[in-house]
Chains A and B, each alone.
Chain A
Amino acid sequence: MLKKYYFDYSAATPVDQRVVKAMEKYSYLIYGNPSSLHEQGRLARQALEESRQKIANLLDVNHKEIYFTSGGTESDNWAMLGVARGREKDGKKIIISSIEHKAIIQPAKYLQEKGWQVDVCPVREDGLLDLEKLEKLIDKETVLISVIYANNEIGVVQDLPLIKKIIKKKNSKAYLHTDACQAVNFLEIRPEKLGVDLMTINSSKIYGPRGIGALYIKKGLQIEPLIMGGGQERQARAGTENVAGAVGVAEAMDIARKISVAESRRLYFLREKIISTVTKEIKDVYLNGSRENRLPNNINFSFAGIEGESLVLYLDDKGIMASTGSACGASDLDPSHVLLALGRKKELAHGSLRITLGRWTSEEAVDYLLEVLPVLVDKIRKMSAIYK
């Protein structure tokens, strides 16, 4: 049987078995509602609060600053819409980068329709935020700036402390939110060190369960709830708490942080091997985004003359699972907004391949990929009506 190789860790990570084990008893042994007064309720409450504390410790923040949500999308939506509602009287301006996740772009569009001024700050050719433009865009009415920490498609890592410095200079009251979904496995994530006021965390990208995430909200920020009901999460996010999920994401994050340095080093080596070999062996290939300021597990190429979906499906036929850009992009036909933001021509933006590495990516898998990829690129180019 054909061996299968998974190269799509930025779309979803398998749940670590240690995480599954940690969660297990919170399905059938401890099942109470954390709001209940009896023993079952108290045990559930204890597990929930211990998980919150564990995450707070890893971020070096107070436990009251961690709010559990249903995942990255909800956290992003909440940061945008919640701050907008909370700060409407201070100004109606928001800035987002041109390479934000759709979970930021869509609420930004919604706010725009409701009369907010939303400015999109461009990135440079290498994917790093254009800081001069950012400085020009911020004024006294800017209430929120959202910049993705490590981009999900191209893995480019932004210099958040420097961004915060610029924000402070122009408007010390403006909040900085970052989507750190892809960053937790590898990068510095303590909000104090990064200068962020709100931070999105997603369990499903860090080998944790689906359907849970968190939003770090610095103490004292003006933010309104998005989900209203029974007053859970200290009146900020209603809904019966997902205790097993909270236990799972805390455990997942704990493991991720413990091995982060060693994993970064191991994957950096594999990433560099892929980039050097592919750019050497295949003609007319472009690395999308900075090579230096990049997640150790992300590779994103554009191949001239090739449409990304064809390459992904040919790879799948050989047992290699990768993607064209974001998994969300798999079902729409438009080229990636991230690649277009870098200034890539549309035909090259159509020809992208994202390879993302993770905890179970072996060197053997990488060698197999490097053996198969040039052959398939050649095969598709031979058919291509635009490649010469």
Chain B
Amino acid sequence: MSELKSNDVVGWIYSDIVKDHFLHPRNFIEGEEPSWEWNGKGEMGSPACGDVMKVWVQINDGIVENIGWKTFGCASAIASTSVMSEMIKGMTAEEAKKITAKDIVKKLGGLPEKKIHCSVLGDQALKKAIEDFETNN
């Protein structure tokens, strides 16, 4: 007989990684914008739909040296922006642009099917931030 895993009964609907990033988000910006110097900004989503993400990047010599974010949304939206910010830091801007929602979801240990659109916004906000940098520099 297979044993019930505790996750099946009392576990979160989210993975432990999602839970960790949601409860202890990394690299988010407290004020209206970063206190550090940045050169690219992107935004995705709409308040009416329940998800808005803002991403700021500092790109030097083609490397994403710093990244910060703000998110209005559910637990998976917060966790996916947080984990994405960790993935991106130190990457080249070219690599960062290739990050997909699938990569983020994988890093989070999966997301409930209907929550995947949240993380799609994260990678798009990031792309916009990098494009913003490219347009202005």
Q: Enumerate chain A interface residues (CB-CB to B < 8 A).
A: 305-307, 309-310, 313-314, 317, 333, 335, 345-347, 350, 382-388
| Contacting pair B32 A310 (CB below 8 A) | no
Residues in chain A near residue B52, CB distance under 8 A: 385-386
Q: Interface extent on B, as a size class?
A: 20 to 34
Among the listed stretches B70-78, B86-94, B95-103, B127-135, which one makes contact with chain A, having 4 or more residues with CB under 8 Å of it? B70-78
| Contacting pair B73 A347 (CB below 8 A) | no
| Contacting pair B50 A307 (CB below 8 A) | yes
Instruction: Looking at the assembled complex, report how far the CB atom of A214 sits from the nearest CB atom of chain B, in whole angstroms.
Output: 32
- Closest-by-CB residue of B relative to A335 is B50
Among the listed stretches B1-9, B20-28, B57-65, which one makes contact with chain A, having 4 or more residues with CB under 8 Å of it? B20-28
Q: Which 9 A-B pairs have the closest CB atoms?
A: A347-B47, A346-B48, A385-B70, A309-B74, A350-B50, A385-B52, A386-B72, A385-B54, A385-B72
Residues in chain A near residue B77, CB distance under 8 A: 307
| Contacting pair A313 B75 (CB below 8 A) | yes
Residues in chain A near residue B49, CB distance under 8 A: 346
For the complex, give the distance between the alpha carbons of A267 and B70 in Å: 38
Residues in chain B near residue A385, CB distance under 8 A: 43, 45, 52-54, 69-72
- Closest-by-CB residue of B relative to A350 is B50
Among the listed B23, B71, B75, which residue makes an inter-chain contact with A384, where contact means beta carbons less than 8 Å apart? B71
| Contacting pair B50 A347 (CB below 8 A) | yes
21 contacts between A and B (CB under 8 A): A307-B51, A309-B74, A310-B22, A310-B73, A310-B78, A313-B75, A333-B50, A333-B114, A347-B47, A347-B48, A347-B72, A350-B47, A382-B28, A383-B71, A384-B70, A385-B43, A385-B53, A385-B54, A385-B71, A385-B72, A386-B52
Given contacts A346-B48, A347-B50, contact A384 B22 (CB under 8 A): no
